[in-house]
A and B are shown apart, each in its own frame.
Chain A
Amino acid sequence: MRAEALSQVGLGRVGHSPQRVGGRTRVTGEQRYVGDIHLADELQVKLVTIPAARARIVAIDAAAAQAVPGVRLVFTPADLPQPVPRFGPQFADRPVLAVGETKYHGEPVAAVAAETVEAAEEAVRLVQVHYEELPALVTIGAALDPAAPLVQDPSSRPGDPLAHTNVLREHRYGWGDLDAQAAELVVDHRYRFPMVTHFAIEPHAFLAAPDGSGIVVWSTIQHPYWLQRMLAKLLGLPLAKVRVIAPDPGGGFGGKQHTKYEPLLAFMALRVGRPVRLVLSLEESFQAARRAAAEVQVRTGVCRDGTLVFQEIAADYLIGAYADIADRVVGKGSYIACGPYRLPAVRIVARAILSHTVPSTAFRGFGTPQVIWAVESNIDEVARRLGLDPLELRLKNVARKGEVFIPGDTPADGDWAESLRKAAEAIGWGTPRAPGRGRGIALGIKLGPTTGLSYATVRLLADGSVIVSAGTSDMGQGARTVFAQIAADELGAPLDWVTVVMGDTAVVPYDQQTSASRSTVLMGSAVLRACRDVQAQLRAMAARLYEIDEAAVEVTRGIVRLPQRELPISVVLSEGLGPLGGELIGTGEARKEPVPGHPLGGTAAFYDFNCTAAEVEVDEDTGDVTILRYVSVSDVGTAINPLQVHAQDAGAAIMGLGHTLMEQYIFDEAGRIRNLGAIDYRIPTSMDLPRAFETLLVENGDGPGPYGAKGISEGALLPVAPAIAAAIRDGTGVAIRELPLTPERVWRALRERDAAETASDVQGVPLAEGFPMAARHGKPSRRRQHGQG
C-alpha cells in the first residue's frame, strides 16, 4: 500500500497539462513586465527621431529642449565616446545613435532624459534637428540597381568583395548536378513575401541603472546573456559587472532576441548617474524590429510520375539598414529552402540585401516562412501541371525517417508522411466538397538550433521542494511550466512546490539564447541532467545512511528504492541532511557542438515539422477569403505539456494568417512607413479565425529532448500561406504568388482570370487535366454564406 501511494508521487506531470506555472499572476494583473517596473529616482527617456527615412544630419540644436523644466539630459551622438560605438549580433554596424545620416524611418538621432514623461516629450518636440532628406531604398529592385546609393559605407566592410554593393552577403548551398537531371517538366515562378512586424502586445521596454562600479539593465530581451556580453564590450566592463534582468517578456516571437536601445540607455544612465527608463510605443516597436521581405524564384524539375529531380532557388531577402541577426536569418532560412524532399540536385543562392528600412531580425520561422511559401506553392503548381494529387506528390517525395535529405546534415528525424496523412484525413482530402470551395495542403520544415549551450541548476531543499534556475526566457511559450514539470516528475515534488528562477544574469547560470524552439530540448535536457545529478547525490546519501552499496540504490521519480524497501525522497533527504538541514545542488549542462566546416556552423538539433490543410471559400465579388476549416499537424516527438503545445501551434497558425491575409508595411516614396501602429496595420483578431480550427500532434517519442521531445512553435507558421493559397487556387483557379492575399489582390486576380477566360474562349486551362481536385469550377458567382452564427 505504501509503495502504491509512493508510486503516485511525481506522476501525472510530464505528458499532462497542469495550469501554466506563472499563470496565476497573469490572470490577476500581478505579473510584472519590464514596463511595470519603476526605480527610485528614475528619469524618463524619449527618443528623438525625424520624419524621414534617409537623411543627412546637418546639426542638432538642443538648447530649447535643454531649457524645459525637468529635463536632465539631451543626449546626442556628440555625448557618446568617439567614434560612436557600434554593435550588432553579427556585425558591429549599428551605431548607438545615428551618426551623420539616418538610414531608416525611426532611427533615433538623439534622446532626452527628464523627470517626467511629459517633460521628456516636450523636450523631444523642441530638439531642432536640421537635416537634408536623401533618396531611400525600400525595395529589392531599387537596392540592387547598380546606380543605387550604398546603404553601408564600404570602408566599414574592409576586404569584402561585396562592399561596393548593397548585398551584405550571399549564401550558396547545393549538391548534385542540376544540368544532368532529365526533368520532364520544369515549373519556374517568382513568389513575394511581405515585410511584416512582430507586434508583440508588449512593446519593448528598457531600464538602466548605475550599480557601484557596474551597471544593471532591465530589458524585454529574449537573450539576456547575449545582451550582457554586448554591453560589457561596449562599456569596457567585466561580465560580472553587467547585470541583465530580463523579466518574462509579453511576447517575443524573435523581435526581442537582440540588443536594441539598451546600449543607449546604459550610456545615458552612466552619464547622469541615475536610473533611466524607456518604454517604446507600439509605433516605435514597428521601427525597432520586423521580418525580412523576400522575393524567391523557384525552378522545380520533375518527372512525369511526380518524382522531383531538382530544385533551383534564388532567394532575395530585403533586410534593413543594419544587419542585426538578419544575415544569419537569410543563411539559415534559405539553407532548407528545398523543404523535406528527396532531391538528387539542388542549387540555392540567397542574398541578404541592405535597404533604408527598419533592421529586420529574427521572427518566428527565422527566414524559413519566406522560402516555404515559395517552394510549397511551386510544388502545388507542379502537381497541378502533372495532373497529380498534391498530397500524393508530397508523399512520394518526402524524406523517410532516417533518410539524409540534406547531405551532411541530420537525417529526417520523424515519420513525416504520418503528419501529411493525418492532416489530409482530418480535412477530408479527396472527399467531395461544395462548389466554390477549395482545399489546399502544404508542409513546412525548419531547422532547430545548430549550436547551443545551456546550464541549469536544480536545488532540492530540505523539505523536498525544488528551485530550478534556468536562463531561458519564458515569453509565453511556457518554458517555465515545462521545466517545473520535469523537475517535479524527476524529484517527486508537487508542481506547486517547484519554483523556476529565470531572467537574471547575476543569479541564473548561462544560457546561450531562447530561440529556434530550443528551450525544451536544450535547457529541458540541462534541467533533466541537473535533476539526475541530485538523484545521484541521493543515491550516495542513501548508501551512506543505510550502509548498502550505492549500486543497489535506485532513485526514480519521487522514490528512493533500496533492496528491501522504498522510501520517499523527503525521508532520505531529511535523514541525510541531518540537524543542520541544507540542500542538494545538482547541475546540468546541454550542448549542441559546432561542426567545423558545416555551412551553418552545425547540424540541426532536430527539425520543426508541420503539415497544414485548409478549406476556403472565396467571395467572387469582393475577393474576401473565408477559411472554413483548418488543420495543423505538428511532429513534436513527445508533448511534455500538450495544452501548451496545442496553444503554441494554434498561435503560430494565427500569426501565419497575418502575413498570409492582411499584414504588410507600406512605404511612401521617401521611405517613410505609412501604416505605423494598430489602426493602419491589422493583425488577426478573434473575427479572423477559421470557422473550424484543429491542431493535431504526431508523437513518436523520437526527439532529442527530455522523454523524446522535439522543439515546437515555429513549424505551424510555415505552411499557412502556401496551404491557403493552394486552397484559393483549388476553389477559383487563380494562382496568386504575392502575399498578403488581401481581398483586393484576390479580387484583381479573379478579374484577370475572367478577362483571360473571355479572351481564350471557354477552353478551360490545360494545367488542370487529370486531377479532379484541380478542376476549374464554373463561373457563377459563389457568395459566402453570411451570418448564421
Chain B
Amino acid sequence: MGETIQIVVTVNGRRRALDVEPTATLLDLLRDDLGLTGSKACCLVGECGACTVRLNGRIVDSCLVLAAEVDGGEVMTIEGLAPDGRLTALQERFLDHGAVQCGYCTPGQLMAATDLLARIPHPTVAEVEEGLAGNLCRCGCYVQITEAVLAAAEGER
C-alpha cells in the first residue's frame, strides 16, 4: 500500500534491487521479499535478538531497521554464514556442545557470536555472556552456547 521505495542492497554477496514499503523492516525484506527465513521473528521490538543479522559490518536487530534505510548497504544473514555448505567452526561447535535445542534462537545467536569472535577472538566467559545478552534462548542453552563460543575461539587460534 502507498508508495514504495526503490533500494539496492547486497544480501549474502548478491546484489538485489527491490521495491519496499516505507514501513517495511529489514526483517520483512529478508523473510518476505527474499524468502530468507533463517532470520527469525519474535518480539519485533529489539529485545530478543532472534532477527540478528550483520549490516555494513555490524550486527543489528533487523526488526528495528527500516528496509529503506539499508539502501546501498551490505547485509549478511545466517544463510550467508556457510555459503558453500561447509559449516563454520562456530556452527560445528554449537552442535557439538548441545547449544541448539529447538533452534529458533540459533540463527540470531550464531550471528551475534560470529560478530563477537570477530571483535574479540579470545573472549572470557563474562565477555561471551555479556556479548550475547541480547539474544534470548527460552530453551536455556546459554551455558552450552558459551561453551561452544569458547571452543570455537580455542580452535581458531
Residues of A within 8 A of B (CB): 17, 19-20, 22-33, 35-36, 69-70, 116, 118-119, 122, 198-203, 248-253, 279, 281-282, 475-478, 643-644, 646-648, 650-655, 677-679, 683-687, 689, 693, 789
Say yes or no: B144 contacts A28, CB within 8 Å: no
Q: Which of B40, B98, B125, B136 has the most CB of A within 10 A?
A: B98
A679 and B97 alpha carbons, distance in the complex (Å): 30
State whether A647 touches B141 (Cβ < 8 A): yes
B40–A686 contact, CB under 8 A? no
A118 and B21 form a contact (CB under 8 A):
yes
Which B residues are in CB contact (< 8 Å) with A655?
A: 138, 140
B42 pairs with A282, CB closer than 8 A? yes
Q: Are B103 and A685 in contact (CB under 8 A)?
A: no
Please report B residues at the A interface, Cβ cutoff 8 Å.
1, 21, 23, 31, 36-45, 47-48, 50, 77-79, 81-82, 87, 91, 94-98, 100-107, 110, 124-130, 132-146
By a CB distance below 8 angstroms, the chain B residues around A282 are 42-44, 48
Contact call B42/A202, Cβ cutoff below 8 A: yes
**Residue in A19, A251, A653 whose CB lies within 8 Å of B96:** A19
Interface of B is mostly: loop
For residue B136, which residues in chain A have a CB less than 8 angstroms away from its CB? Answer: 201, 678, 683, 685
Contact between B43 and A677, CB atoms less than 8 A apart: yes
Question: Could you name 15 residue pairs across A and B whose Cβ atoms are closer than 8 Å?
Answer: A27-B95, A27-B103, A29-B107, A36-B31, A200-B102, A201-B137, A248-B102, A253-B138, A475-B102, A643-B98, A647-B141, A678-B45, A679-B45, A686-B129, A689-B142
A251 to B101, CA, bound (A): 8
CB pair B103 A26 closer than 8 Å:
yes
A250 close to B94 (CB less than 8 A): no
Q: Which of B48, B101, B144 contacts A477 (CB 8 A)?
A: B101
In contact, A686 and B133 (Cβ under 8 angstroms) = yes
Task: Determine which residue in A22, A122, A646, A678 has the highest number of CB atoms from chain B within 10 A of its CB, and name it.
Answer: A678
Q: Which 7 A-B pairs have the closest CB atoms?
A: A29-B38, A250-B104, A789-B126, A26-B103, A476-B102, A651-B140, A654-B140
Closest residue of chain B to A199 (Cβ to Cβ) is: B138
Is there contact, CB below 8 Å, between A651 and B81? no
Shortest Cβ distance from A717 into B: residue: B140
Query: In the complex the two chains form, what is the Cα distance from A475 to B139 in whole Å?
Result: 9
Docked pose: A544 CA to B146 CA in angstroms: 55
Interface centre among B43, B50, B94, B125 (most CB of A within 10 A): B43
A723 CA / B101 CA spacing, docked (Å): 26
> Separation in Å of the B74 CB from the closest CB of chain A?
18
**Residue of A32, A35, A116 with most chain B CB atoms under a 10 A cut-off:** A35
Within the complex, what minimum Cβ distance (angstroms) separates A228 from chain B?
Answer: 23
Q: A655-B140, A685-B136 are in contact. Are A202 and B40 (CB under 8 A)?
A: yes
B124: chain A residues at CB < 8 Å are 789
Interface contact A686-B104, CB-CB below 8 Å:
no
**C-alpha spacing A30/B100, complex, angstroms:** 14
**Do residues B42 and A203 form an inter-chain contact, with CB atoms below 8 A?**
yes
Q: CA A281 – CA B45 in complex, angstroms?
A: 11
CB-CB under 8 A from B143, the residues of chain A are 650, 689, 693
Q: Please report the C-alpha to C-alpha distance between residue A32 and residue B79 in the assembled complex, in whole angstroms.
A: 13
Asked if B43 and A678 make an inter-chain contact with CB atoms under 8 angstroms apart, the answer reads: yes
Q: How far is the CA of A30 from the CA of B87 in the complex (A)?
A: 13
With most chain A CB atoms within 10 A of its CB, the pick from B1, B31, B140 is B140
Task: Determine which of B81, B135, B146 lies in contact with A28 in the assembled complex, contact meaning CB atoms within 8 Å.
Answer: B81
Q: Is B87 in contact with A686, judged by CB distance below 8 angstroms? A: no
Given contacts A476-B101, A678-B47, A686-B132, contact A647 B144 (CB under 8 A): yes
From residue B30, how far is it (CB to closest CB) to chain A in Å? Answer: 10
B40: chain A residues within 8 A (beta carbon): 33, 201-202, 250
